[in-house]
Structure 1
Amino acid sequence: MSKQIKTIASFRTPTYANNALNKNSLAAGIAAAMLLPLAAFAADEKQDQPDNKLNVVKVEAAAIDPNPNAQPGVPYKAQFSGDERHTRPLAETPQNISVLTKAQIDESGYTDLKQILDAQPGITLGTGENGNAFGDRYIIRGQEARSDVFVDGLRDPGMTTRESFVVEQIEISKGPNSSFAGRGTSGGAINAITKQATTDYDFSTLATGIGSDKHTRVTLDTNQVINEQAAVRANLLYGYEEVPDRAPADRERKGVALSGLYMPSDELEVVLDYYGMDAKDNPDLGGFLIGDVPNRKPAKSVPVYAQQQDFQESDVDTFTARVKYRFNSDVRLSNITRQGTSENGYVVTGARSATTAATNPGGIYETITLSTHQGWQDVDYFANQTNLFINKNLAGKDHEFIVSLEYTDHSVLNGVYSVGSSGQNCIVPGRTAGTTSSTWCAVGANGKSVNGLNTLMNRQITKGTWDTDWAVETTSLALMDTVDLTDDWTVFAGVRADQFDFDLKTQNTSTLAQAEYDYSDTLVNGYVGITYDINSVGNIYFSYATASDINGGESDVGTSSGYGGTVINNGEVAAADPESSKNIELGTKWNIFDEQLLLTAAIFQITKSDIMEGANYDSVGTFNTGENRVKGIEFGATGAITDKLTVQAGITIMDAEVLESATATYVGKTLSNFAEETAVLQLKYQFTDNFSFGAAAKYESEKFAGQPDTAASFNAEGQYSQPVPSYTVYDLFSTYEFNEDLDVRLNVGNVTDKDYYLAAYRSGSFLYMGDARNVRVTLTYDF
């Protein structure tokens, strides 16, 4: 492959000689003025061209994409990562990084991050204690990633609801990523790249959507150039819908994002951002599992039991400042500072199957019993990251050095609600054998839902006291380098040290008795990647990377150490080693069809050791006793197959195994919430200049619920006891352009109206349902 070096888009630097640039004439003119991004293409020494022969420039008609990292004229394909620390194009990076562009996300019809990521290979969803209702839980290549979500390269702490209205592209890094991201990231990381103001041109886009289940969605994206040195951009969102076929459960989203750009000189750029998001749901925890293995399966025809007072709320406010300065052509500095807060809370209803006791006035019958799950979380965080980029020739080789210094201070206060309920209407077996318990039954002796089901519990809710106060302060230093050893061989390498101070306070919500646990440590991780160019379009690469996570790295679970909480031993923080992950990967990338289509393939193996399974479960304790391994192969295709056919596709086939555990029967079992096969395909065909249509399919094989990082739950016979069935879901979409300013898009989700389930809790009492069939029509106007 010809080497391409990414430069900062906002700095006016001369372009280098290049091979054919695939831009239309208008986009090419704009790119020359805005340099978003400016790419320097070295001449391909493998092509024998006379010096006096001019390169042919291919001109194509394509819509302007304000995303500076997009591949011109190929809406599903990103050319560069939005993280400027990846200095080379994605096709030349020795790592599996899946990038979802705004165009691909919009046409998929998905808006919440959970929906978007569920449709990606190698990623599954999970639940947590009480359903982890603070937000979404992601699992990448079998490893927990719910705290490994980043925005513009900075960790986004807390279990919030995340939306796509201000997203330019989503990047999913597969495999350990600690050199870039710090602690955690044992299976990978998710990085959302946000929309920024630009001085290159004015644009405004208004999109209005309506549909089934009272769907309403309005977004506005407008960029206004003040002068050659300043611009502002605003993104606004309002959305509401009932959960398809599960009303009165519903979702509401309100969002605003403001960005201001100021460039007082060619060397200096300043960007100030504000992001606000208010999400309010009456959530539906879906269904539950019934029966015994091998006939254990999801219950059918579960009524909507969500209570009128239920809620799941997330209120996020962040302020970000970016400063970039170019000292000269070889040295530049980039700094990003963020202050953020979020307030999250939930009171939700769970359900499970039960048999009423004989003392019940209605006799003995199968029913659905309801339960309450609740909590709140306040997040306050500060982050500052400085990157110094230095291009330096050493020993005859051109090096691209990056020195990165980062400071973060994350604080998370977790608490409970005081929930009063009345109206218990049945008696069922209690948790202890031979006992009974008064509870709420959703189904009567006649097999039908009771009257007033959605107000049955008659809740009274007040915010209560806190139970855990979690804080981590971290200072990090990283050094990275990219060097071309020859025309064909390139080496990428990096090392990062994270020094952290951990502090956890706990409080008994009844007695108010408190305890405090703190410790400090330093984590050191690194990566190395080697790429060999087979020819001008294809390469092979090998990479090795490590990651570490701290004792108590998950902010929402206190001392529940089996779920990523702090391991306590004899009343103190256990002297445990950090959990560590190692990944080896061999892959190949082919940027074919005049760089319009990127094909990727990789085989990999992640080994996670020193896993903290818990403590004080026996007389010895069970921290640093677990080890698991995931190995697999992944294929991907992104871009344009022909001038009319565009694709985003991937398939991942994996195998997971518990290698070591304090519980001997876990060894040899698969991991919880782990699907061995996942696949996605999204195709778009441009039938005429004005009309396009497409289809998407996502497949996930069977998986089994259980505790994170350990074996899926199983019975005495060794059979997995909490199965989540495999599923295939199909979507359709089409777009008609009335003119260059106005178009309408139709999305039909889950065309076959399949009942499918995303994740289950380890007891089978939570079984998250995917959306039923839904229809959306979106009118988009550019003005």
Structure 2
Amino acid sequence: MQAAQTERKRAEHSVVGYLTGAMSFAVAATPAVAETKKDSVTATLPTHTVTGSSGFKTDEASGGKFTAPLVDTPKSVTVIPAEVLQDTGSVTLTEALRTVPGIAFGAGEGGNPVGDRPFIRGYDAQASTFLDGLRDIGAQSREMFNVDSVEVIKGPSGAYEGRGSAGGAINIVSKTPKLEHFTEGTISVGNAAYKRATADGNYQIGEHAAFRLNAMYHDAGTPGRDVTSFSRWGIAPSIAFGLGTPTRATLSYYHLQSNDTPDTGIPYNNGTFNRRADGRPQLFAPGDGSPVDVGRNTYYGLGRDFRRDRVDMGTFSLEHDVSTALKLRNTTRIARTSQDYVWTQPDDSQGNIYYGMVWRRANTRYSVANTVANQTEATGKFETGGFKHSYAAGLEFSREHSSNDTYNVPTGSNRCPNGIGAAGGYNCTSLFNPNPNDPWTGNITLANNPAETTVRTQSAYVFDTIELSPRWQINGGLRFDRYSASATTSANAQGVRSSFSRDDNLLNYQLGLVFKPAQNGSIYVAYGTSSTPSGSVAGQGADGSALTPDRSGNRGDVLAPEKNRAYELGTKWNVLDNKLALTAAVFRIETTNARIVLQDGTAAMAGNKRVDGFELGWSGALTNKWQVFGGYTYLKSELRNNGGSGSAFGATNGTEFPNTPKSSFSLWTTYQPMPKFTLGGGAYYVSKVWGSANPANPKWVPAYWRFDAMASYRIDKHMHLQLNVQNLFDKKYYNQAYASHYASLAPGRAAILTLGIRY
């Protein structure tokens, strides 16, 4: 009997979670503030509402900074629920985010070239990634084994996060202990030597206490790319006390460790190059800046290549409900993230490709990021002057410190003067037929010369939703950050290190007006700001405003924070008896003081860039058996004043942003023709993406369509089988475009069979 009830709850959670957790471009109220609203999006069948360990409904977003129900929040947010993660077979953050249009993925050469680097609405959001509401700055590739949902907040979110991207932020929501017993796991196998196992056990250990343990092992190659491989394991125990009482405490630990052979990518066929004078014949004419046309399995790396990530994170959260209208929460986190790699980049900067060669440039890093953070939040509601208020207020303190070292790797001359093979020490290889097993014998040593960055922040914020009448609401937010950053460079040839520091006061805000023409719909207009100060990535990725002086030695105004602002007009409707959410929004994001290089080589806060766009979103159920999740985004980006040194000044004005496709579309849908059988499919489109839109030497990857398929069969109440086929038609496409040298080739067709077990 108990097993049957557990199975029924799981089925109900699947339906309700799809309908309520996946609300695109809207976000729900904080648990302490949320009320049962008639316009909440819930399924009519089944009628049971699943609740979490603290009694809060699962149709509410995480965190305490959203003070209105889904349909009444004047902000574009997409929430990817656990059901979509499971059905699509998404096991990394990158795979999960592909279901959200308007997000592209950037590549790099140093920093974090093969880790998570999402671009939201054209702006780099690597440093705007959060875990359970706290910034997760460490460069890495994130796993989904301990994730309940992923929230994508779009548009300048300075009021939510302080320093950050103008395009938006990502918040990952972890699994937490619940007052119930269950044990579940998965075993997966597939082509390209795919092997994966996960376990999730939740155990009630007292009337108000529970323990949960998530674990994962993953080992796989890349379909169509024989040499690359990904091996990792993780464990995430957590224990909670006081569940179901006014005072709750949760202690959790997260560990992830990986050991990969990273992919090298494919070089661009540059339109300009340095011609050789040694008589070597040129094999083909200059190209248009797209990737070189070589076989999918072409790999330019060597056996020396490796990549190792490690994440260790401990979090303690204490919550107390002072009353039904006021809740307090304090969270403390200590985290350490390391990234260690030697990675071969197929460098095309000298034009070797036109002579049939590729220089094996070695990009290297040994980075450690340490974070200590504390956040205190108060959420509640009150009434004054006849107006109802739902508010959230908080304080945050954090210290982030990173140390970035490199390896010494002998790689010869970038001109490949001795050609390929032994004569050049295998530092240059064939463009069309490289051999990753070449007997390269160079010595790799750690430089022991790190650069260091420290970022300290003290923040205060407040949000309030004011109900003026049943049809009109005002939603506002204000945040102040005291931001202090310092950096010390690696020692130069004379052993001298340089140090720089800067303090800034960041004040960001948002304001939205919501009109409700009906209980199941809203129309809103919103304005918001964000700030991107120097050193905001804390040395963990590409920094467009690095904490260094310009050539004139002036560190004043040229290090001031970039200021961004956005306007948005949108509407949200819950239709089909509140089972399907439809959303639409038009928006503009502007940066009017971007840091650029002037004609004389000095820097100035004089750049101007803009993104105009619109979005459509849908999520929920068309019928009791047919569910959909997805959207469409159009982005018109323009670098209005992009500077440039010397003759390059103004040359790129009017061009598009890198990593910003004009059009992107996603649709994931499932249909249940029989009670035990479910079919699913996905269609994804991304238009042309520029790595660099410089007219003198463009770099880009072509548009693509990708299709996925899924079939699931429930064997009995304890077991089910699921088959995912990703990239169904084995499309050859590129999913990352670096600004200079290479593009990243996406995996080929992957077929993965999963056995799921639950007791």
**What TM-score range do you get, normalising by the shorter chain?**
0.7 to 0.9
Question: Structure 1 residues 245 and 65 mapped into 2: Cα distance closer, same or farther (>3 Å)?
Answer: farther
| Residue 342 of structure 2 corresponds to residue 347 of structure 1 | yes
| Residue 403 of structure 2 corresponds to residue 413 of structure 1 | yes
TM-score (norm 2): 0.88
Separation (CA, whole Å) in 1 of partners of 2:417 and 2:256: 42
Q: Give the counterpart of 1:496 among 460, 471, 479.
A: 479
Partner of residue 224, structure 1: 203
Q: Give the counterpart of 2:161 among 161, 181, 201.
A: 181
Question: Structure 1 residues 67 and 208 mapped into 2: Cα distance closer, same or farther (>3 Å)?
Answer: farther
Separation (CA, whole Å) in 1 of partners of 2:634 and 2:440: 45
Partner deviation per Cα, 1:440-492 (whole Å, 9 max, x = no partner)? 33228xx6445xx3344334333222332101110001111111110111111
Partner of residue 20, structure 2: none
Partner of residue 256, structure 2: 277
Partner of residue 15, structure 1: none
Separation (CA, whole Å) in 1 of partners of 2:714 and 2:32: 28
Residue type of the alignment partner of 1:647? V
C-alpha displacement at 1:394, in angstroms? 1.1
Q: Give the counterpart of 1:267 among 234, 237, 246.
A: 246
Separation (CA, whole Å) in 2 of partners of 1:582 and 1:347: 39
Q: Give the counterpart of 1:574 among 553, 556, 565.
A: 556
| Residue 683 of structure 2 corresponds to residue 697 of structure 1 | yes
Question: Structure 1 residues 255 and 681 mapped into 2: Cα distance closer, same or farther (>3 Å)?
Answer: same
C-alpha displacement at 1:557, in angstroms? 7.0
Partner of residue 517, structure 1: 500
C-alpha displacement at 1:88, in angstroms? 2.7
Q: Tell me the secondary structure at the aligned position of residue 65 of structure 2.
A: coil
Q: Tell me the secondary structure at the aligned position of residue 148 of structure 2.
A: strand
Separation (CA, whole Å) in 2 of partners of 1:514 and 1:24: 57
Partner deviation per Cα, 1:235-268 (whole Å, 9 max, x = no partner)? 0000010111212210012111111110188221
| Residue 749 of structure 2 corresponds to residue 773 of structure 1 | yes
Separation (CA, whole Å) in 2 of partners of 1:665 and 1:319: 49
CA contact (8 A) 2:665 2:685 kept: yes
CA contact (8 A) 1:112 1:164 kept: yes
Partner deviation per Cα, 1:94-119 (whole Å, 9 max, x = no partner)? 11100101110111122111222234
| Residue 307 of structure 2 corresponds to residue 307 of structure 1 | no
C-alpha displacement at 1:761, in angstroms? 1.9
Question: Structure 1 residues 128 and 377 mapped into 2: Cα distance closer, same or farther (>3 Å)?
Answer: same
Comparing 56-65 and 658-667, the one that deviates more: 56-65
C-alpha displacement at 1:758, in angstroms? 1.3
1:378-777 to structure 2, matched below 5 A, reads 378-420=368-410, 427=417, 440-443=427-430, 448-450=433-435, 453-508=436-491, 510-556=493-539, 562=544, 564=546, 566-568=548-550, 570-571=552-553, 573-576=555-558, 577-614=560-597, 619=600, 621-662=602-643, 663-706=649-692, 712-715=693-696, 721-763=698-740, 765-777=741-753
Question: Structure 1 residues 168 and 370 mapped into 2: Cα distance closer, same or farther (>3 Å)?
Answer: same
Q: Tell me the secondary structure at the aligned position of residue 97 of structure 2.
A: helix
C-alpha displacement at 1:392, in angstroms? 1.9
Question: Structure 1 residues 246 and 666 mapped into 2: Cα distance closer, same or farther (>3 Å)?
Answer: same
CA contact (8 A) 1:422 1:457 kept: no
Separation (CA, whole Å) in 2 of partners of 1:131 and 1:329: 47
Partner of residue 61, structure 2: 81
Q: Tell me the secondary structure at the aligned position of residue 555 of structure 1.
A: coil
Question: Structure 1 residues 133 and 455 mapped into 2: Cα distance closer, same or farther (>3 Å)?
Answer: farther
Residue type of the alignment partner of 2:206? N
Separation (CA, whole Å) in 2 of partners of 1:26 and 1:126: 34
CA contact (8 A) 1:466 1:509 kept: no
Separation (CA, whole Å) in 1 of partners of 2:728 and 2:55: 33
Larger RCO (CA within 8 A; separation ≥ 6): 2
CA contact (8 A) 2:185 2:198 kept: yes
1:235-274 to structure 2, matched below 5 A, reads 235-263=214-242, 266-274=245-253
Question: Structure 1 residues 279 and 563 mapped into 2: Cα distance closer, same or farther (>3 Å)?
Answer: farther
Residue type of the alignment partner of 2:588? Q
C-alpha displacement at 1:661, in angstroms? 2.9
Separation (CA, whole Å) in 1 of partners of 2:631 and 2:332: 35
TM-score (norm 1): 0.85
CA contact (8 A) 2:138 2:540 kept: no
Separation (CA, whole Å) in 2 of partners of 1:456 and 1:714: 40
Partner of residue 127, structure 1: 107
Residue type of the alignment partner of 2:557? A
CA contact (8 A) 1:421 1:460 kept: no
CA contact (8 A) 1:423 1:457 kept: no
CA contact (8 A) 1:281 1:313 kept: yes
Separation (CA, whole Å) in 1 of partners of 2:186 and 2:345: 36
Question: Structure 1 residues 38 and 656 mapped into 2: Cα distance closer, same or farther (>3 Å)?
Answer: closer
Partner deviation per Cα, 1:534-584 (whole Å, 9 max, x = no partner)? 1121111111100001122222379x8646554545445333331011011
CA contact (8 A) 1:268 1:325 kept: yes
C-alpha displacement at 1:588, in angstroms? 0.5
Separation (CA, whole Å) in 1 of partners of 2:68 and 2:53: 17
C-alpha displacement at 1:79, in angstroms? 2.6
Superposed CA RMSD in Å reads 3.2
Residue type of the alignment partner of 1:263? G
Q: Tell me the secondary structure at the aligned position of residue 507 of structure 1.
A: coil
Separation (CA, whole Å) in 2 of partners of 1:526 and 1:731: 40
Partner deviation per Cα, 1:208-239 (whole Å, 9 max, x = no partner)? 10010110110001110012211011100000
Gaps of 5+ in 1: 1-21, 29-34, 45-55, 72-77, 358-363, 431-435, 707-711
Partner of residue 279, structure 2: none
Question: Structure 1 residues 62 and 458 mapped into 2: Cα distance closer, same or farther (>3 Å)?
Answer: farther
Separation (CA, whole Å) in 2 of partners of 1:635 and 1:759: 24
Separation (CA, whole Å) in 1 of partners of 2:154 and 2:191: 36
Separation (CA, whole Å) in 2 of partners of 1:462 and 1:162: 28
Question: Structure 1 residues 486 and 522 mapped into 2: Cα distance closer, same or farther (>3 Å)?
Answer: same
